[in-house]
Chain A
Amino acid sequence: MVTFNFVPYHEIDELSSAKRVNKLLNIVKQKKIVLLEGRLTKQEEADLIEITMEEIGERFKGIELAVIDPQLADLGGMRRLKYGLASVLLGNRQGITVIGPASVVKAIRKNPNSIELSTYEARRRTRRRS
C-alpha cells in the first residue's frame, strides 16, 4: 500500500526554509509520498537535495522529486500579471510538488503536465493529471 500525505501550502507558509525542508523530509522518511500544494523555491529544492544526501544511510535511500508548475509564460498579459501578483502575495501556491521515498517510489516522470509515478510496492503504474 502506498500512502499519500497532502500538505497544504498554509502549513509551510510561515516556516523558515530549513523547517519547510525538514518537515517535508520527515514525512517522506515515514515512507509516505508528499503531495505539496504549490512548490518550494529553487534554493529550497537545492537544500532539499543537500539535506537528503546528509540523511542517506542503510534505511533511507533518498527521494524522488517532481514539480508540476503552471507555465505563466503561456498565459495572456492580464492573467499572467494576476497569477504573478498572487504568487508574490500568497507564496508559491501554484502547481504541485511530489516527494516520495526512493525505497517506495521507483521513478517519477513528467511529460510535462502529467506525472507518471511508478512504485516498487504496487508494481504497477498510477497516472495522475494536474
Chain B
Amino acid sequence: MANIVTHLFNRLFRNIFRNRNHVKLGLYGPPNAGKSTLANRICQDWLGEEMSVVSNIPHETREILLKEEVSIKNKRGKQLSFSLVDTPGIATKIDYEDFIKRGLKESVAKKRAKEATRGVIEAIKWLDQMDAVAVVLDATQDPYSQVNITIVGNLQARDIPVLIVANKTDLRRARVQRVEAAFPQYQVVGISARKGANVEQFYEQLFKLVR
C-alpha cells in the first residue's frame, strides 16, 4: 500500500514539476554497452566537446557524470533541452581479478572494483531523479540478461519513459532484431555511437520520448 501511495505521489510530483523542454535524460545500461561513447557523441554533435572518458576495460565510468544544458534540434527546427546523465554500468558482479587480466596492477584493479561497486549503487539511487532514460545495450550481446530486464522493469515501475538503444551496429555480430524481440513494448533504435551511424534517428526518438 505504501509503495502504491509513494508511486502515485512521485508520478504526480514529476508531472507537475517536469518542464518538458528541459528534462533530465539518463543513459543507463550494463558495463561496456557504449553509454559514455553515446554521451560523447551527443556532446560532440551539439556542444562540440566530449563528456566522458571511454575505455575497453569495463567500469571506466564509476561515478555519475552530468552535462547541463544540452540542446538538440530536429529537422522541423523544434528544440529540446536536457541535462545529460551518464551513469556507471549496472552489474551484479565485479571481480578485481578481471581487471588484472586486462592488464591493470593489483592495487589499481582493487581500487577500480571498489569504485565500480559504489558507482552501481549510485546509478540505481539516481533512477528516481530521471525524467526519461535511454537504456543503452550492446547489440552483439544477449539482450535477455537479467540486468537489462531489471533496469527496464524498474523504469517501468517508476513510470519513466524508456528508449532502448541497440548500440554497436557497426559490428558484424550486432542483432538489433533480437533486442527488439526482447523488449517488444518499447521503441528500439539501432545505432553505432562510435561511428555515428543512425544517430539522427536516435535524436528523433528522443523528441518522441519526452513529448
Contact = CB atoms under 8 A, between A and B. Distances in A.
B74 interface: no
A64 interface: yes
Given A46-B154, A50-B124, A112 B182 contact: yes
Interface stretch (B42-50, B78-86, B90-98, B188-196): B90-98
Interface of A: 41-43, 45-46, 49-50, 52-54, 56, 61-67, 102, 108-112
Q: How large is the interface on B (under 10, 10 to 19, 20 to 34, 35 or more residues)?
A: 20 to 34
Interface of B: 3, 90-95, 113, 117-118, 120-121, 124-125, 127, 142, 144-147, 149-150, 153-154, 156-157, 182
B142 A109 contact: yes
B121 A111 contact: no
A42 B94 contact: no
A52 B150 contact: no
Contacts of B127: 46
Given A42-B156, A56-B113, A49 B144 contact: no
B117 A56 contact: yes
Contact of A67 (B118, B149, B156): B149
